[in-house]
Structure 1
């Protein structure tokens, strides 16, 4: 049986597309290029987010626009240029996130009702543009998957904020689910352990210490009730148990602090320096809070912290790749998506 035409609608009125389910993978973001103005646009969007910077708005506007966005774009552009995917003329975060979406679509191609896409919270492709695209393809239910294993208001919550902002502009809103953090998911912990063991087996040295470096945040955010710090510690604890290591063999640190405030401790760079000064000669760093390699792993860890370690007496340094679009990484994303789609497909 087919739907009867509605005599009250014009003949060229668009037909309702078939009902589908959309899956949108979302990562933090990336500039479109490494030049000053591209970096300024990206940093302006990122650092204007009230979830990211919880300062007095007038004070922060002045600091951001008169100081940070005057000087920081050029420096960060040089950092991005060191790790830029020159072949595609884009950041590796964009390259990897696209590949994760493509591989997920290939892995789960058995159900043609499901459409897969990807977006960036800051920069392009925007969350709004991809939600609009999924809706145009008939998705009346959309699963949004923030690619952050540990929940933070400055990451997971701001993805939800931007998605809900886009929904506010839609007359016909799709039903939306936001996948929760997966910091203690056994598939995720097993993927981290398997990936780490495989990477260590390829090294020409055995690390004396392994650091699990997570992105930091101001200590004030923890006091306000953000669960991120506790979830990072649980991930590290579960990973130690899976690898049969103690806290001296697998240490937890926090990187990427910004501004004068006290951030979560211990700091990665200070720990790397202290270990080298103490006589540690062989060091490896993993970054379990990042689902994809990016500026913070490829430049800050693999270059900056490697330099700190060797400058203070260290000899052998290894930055362990993120899960990325590896078989282990894709197993984690598939597990999260399959779980959260229950009842829809």
Structure 2
């Protein structure tokens, strides 16, 4: 009923506010990430590494991307969903779609699937550096709000680790930055429908903060690897209005990591962790000996 009738028109209006000359911000940012990551990894490993991207919902889809890589002779596949924190509706859904595609094939490549990287040191470092870089230019604020995409509370009750992983990401970043306990908050955005979702809600929190004396906030969305509708419009525009209308004086959105150099380095580190044993050239005696030594074999 009401969601189907109203949500598409609202989304269309929101997209018009954030559309770029190159197209959808999500698509543009993802393309830039893939290109930067390809250059980074190939500079380190040559043409042994092929980097392509796929969209869970949209084009290029998982099936066509996998087929294209197989057509190019790929026999080892590392899949990195760009969801740092594991969630069934996101990471799990990506795995389901990948498994469904591979299940229709007569032959499948060796597969490694990266389920999460919410606490990877390089990812935490990239987030911390993005906050420091932003504050170096704009100064700090009364509160730093970590806003993650929400999900129904029922997912947590059924054992989904997403809520806990979001809080761990926040904790590791604030420890890295040395922030006081009263200097930050963790909230959850993008809820819809009548069911209870993960709390506290971002919009309700931002509406209430001015009443408790908080006059300036900076909001960052660590669960989004690239800026999109939910960050640029929902956080950058809609929630800004909520905060200012409630009496807030300064509201700033810290952009996603997108294709920043620190982010590309972090994603490369996550991938290289999962490429262990696949990149060594066993035809090279020196490489073979080094690998054997690392594994504890006698020289």
Map Cα deviations across residues 222-268 of structure 1 (whole Å, 9 max, x no partner).
Answer: 00000000101111111111111133201111111111011111111
**Residue 30 of structure 2 is aligned with which of 86, 90, 97?**
97
**Structure 1 residue 309 corresponds to structure 2 residue 228:** no
**Residue 154 of structure 1 is aligned with which of 89, 93, 101?**
89
Task: Extract unaligned runs of 5+ from structure 1.
Answer: 1-65
Task: Compute the displacement of 1:278 (Å).
Answer: 2.1
- Which residue matches 1:250? 184
The residue correspondences of 1:34-53 to structure 2 (distance < 5 A) are: none
- Secondary structure of 1:191's counterpart equals helix
**Residue 4 of structure 2 is aligned with which of 58, 69, 77?**
69
**Residue 80 of structure 1 is aligned with which of 3, 6, 15?**
15
- Which residue matches 2:285? none
Task: Extract unaligned runs of 5+ from structure 2.
Answer: 280-299
TM-score (norm 2): 0.90
Distance 2:160 2:137 in 1: 37
Structure having the larger proportion of residues in strand: 1
- Which residue matches 1:219? 153
Structure having the larger proportion of residues in helix: 2
Task: Compute the displacement of 1:67 (Å).
Answer: 4.4
**Residue 276 of structure 1 is aligned with which of 203, 206, 210?**
210
Task: Compute the displacement of 1:72 (Å).
Answer: 1.9
- Which residue matches 2:124? 189
**Structure 1 residue 299 corresponds to structure 2 residue 233:** yes
Task: Compute the displacement of 1:69 (Å).
Answer: 3.0
The answer to whether the Cα contact below 8 Å between 1:279 and 1:313 also exists between their aligned partners in 2 is no
TM-score (norm 1): 0.78
- Which residue matches 2:40? 107
Q: Which runs of 4+ in 1 moved over 4 A?
A: none
**Residue 175 of structure 2 is aligned with which of 212, 217, 241?**
241
Distance 1:70 1:262 in 2: 22
Map Cα deviations across residues 104-160 of structure 1 (whole Å, 9 max, x no partner).
Answer: 111111321221100110011101110010111111111110001100001111111
Distance 1:67 1:308 in 2: 23
